[in-house]
Amino acid sequence: MKKYEWIGLREKDNFSYIKGENPIYDTNCHNSLIISNLEEGVIKGVSNHALIKNSGKNYLIPITKINEIIDLSKEILNESKVFYKKPKSIFEMQNLKDLSEDYIKQKLVENYNLEIKNLLEIKTKKGKNRTYKIISKKNKEFMLKYQGKNSELFEYQSSFLEGISFFPKIISTINSLRYISINNSIYALEEFVEGNKFPLDMENYFNLVGKHLALMHNEFNQKNILKNNLEIVLAQEGNSLSESNLNSMQIDLKINSNNEFFLKEIDSFPKSLGQIVNSFPNQIIHGDLNKSNLIWNENNATIIDSETIRFSQRIKDFIPASLFEGNLNIPSYTPNSLKKLIESYDFYSNQKLSEAEKTILPNLLKFSLIKSYVIYVLRRNLKDEKFKNKIIHNLKLIGGEINVH
């Protein structure tokens, strides 16, 4: 028997567990789940349904019938080993071709008429991320950053951010473009921001973040976004709170042992968690406002990594801001931080959070923590008790602060 019997694959907000060839999702397919133990080749997804194929029996179940889907999936998967493929966008980013220093310098001269004295690739704990610090021969400093492969999306993001005070300026090419193309990928040159990763006044950190979050949202909402299909282009690429994702999380928890605590937490969520969040008004949000994306000069912050800009619900910006460690470490919740964030946000915001938004936020934090555990431990087939125990500790902290407002 092979080490891995199944393949798990996420494509936007569709998820599949299969033994055969990769599933195909229709262009408009969303919120679907496929489970098939038949090595029969291509399987087509259906929106808002779970398609389950088990030894000649076919089931097509509305995606909202979570308990029925979970019971069938547990019977079929039955503690099988699953190899989880990385989503296409993540795989592409982590497997970009190496760029020589001379090639980058050539592209900067050709597109920006910029002669380079020094060039340094910035590395993270996850390895290379194709971000370069540039020092010109005139001693001006810039950042050259990989921005994905969707030029239309980047054009909308960068044009929307023009005039927004919290973001570094994107430098236009000599042909007035906001990006250059390298190996079929998008790169942008922007001002280098000097500063620190933390404010000097750490005791006041979450008050400061709440203030900046509110002021950023104020500026976003002052811009006219109801033109040129901006809402459509910036819409989330998949909904992390879709029923298909909630189902897949519970499936992964159930087919792995000793996850009763997390399953009990999920059972405590409102049954319509995703529907509640999706009912809130949409607006432009940053999407990843964790500590590593805030560069501080005393108590003033510049916000970076704008490629996550999306059209979604504003409370989603509170999640990375609250889970302090950001993307590179185990998520960590600081006691009373959500309360401080909300109070500061409401003080500076032109539109305070509603009671419904405040009430749902602790559950969103819990959901995000459990999702991190599923992705970074179960789906990577790691045995990391430290990660697991810290997530459980944070879930308990949040549980003790249900009435944050």
Predicted confidence (pLDDT) per residue in 270-305, tens digit = 878 888 998 998 889 999 998 889 999 989 999 998
* Spacing of C-alpha 97 from chain mean position: 23
Residue 387, in any domain of the structure: yes
Cα angle 391, 394, 398; round to 5: 140
Predicted local confidence at residue 98, as pLDDT: 84
Domain co-membership, 311 together with 247: yes
Residue 221, in any domain of the structure: yes
Q: CA torsion 395→354→296→165, rounded to 10°?
A: 150
Predicted confidence (pLDDT) per residue in 307-348, tens digit = 888 888 999 999 999 987 655 578 889 999 999 999 999 999
Predicted local confidence at residue 168, as pLDDT: 94
Domain co-membership, 64 together with 167: no
Last residue of a domain, one of 66, 85, 104: 85
Residue 1, in any domain of the structure: no
Domain co-membership, 80 together with 61: yes
Q: Which domain holds residue 348?
A: 202-399
- Count the domains in the chain: 3
Domain co-membership, 186 together with 207: no
Predicted local confidence at residue 357, as pLDDT: 96
User: 192 near 133, Cβ under 8 Å?
Assistant: yes
> What distance in Å separates the CA atoms of residue 378 and residue 387, rounded to the nearest whole number?
11
Predicted local confidence at residue 327, as pLDDT: 53
Residue 196, in any domain of the structure: no
Domain co-membership, 296 together with 368: yes
Structure tokens at 263: 């399953």
- pTM more than 0.85: yes
Task: Kindly give the pairing relationship between strand 33-36 and strand 141-146.
Answer: unpaired
Last residue of a domain, one of 19, 53, 85: 85
CATH number, residue 262: 3.90.1200.10
Predicted local confidence at residue 1, as pLDDT: 38
Structure tokens at 51: 């398609």
Domain co-membership, 293 together with 379: yes
Low-confidence ranges of the chain (pLDDT < 70): 1-3, 124-129, 224-233, 235-238, 325-328, 402-405
Question: What does DSSP assign to residue 384?
Answer: -
CATH number, residue 176: 3.30.200.20
Domain co-membership, 77 together with 103: no
Domain co-membership, 54 together with 142: no
Last residue of a domain, one of 85, 105, 122: 85
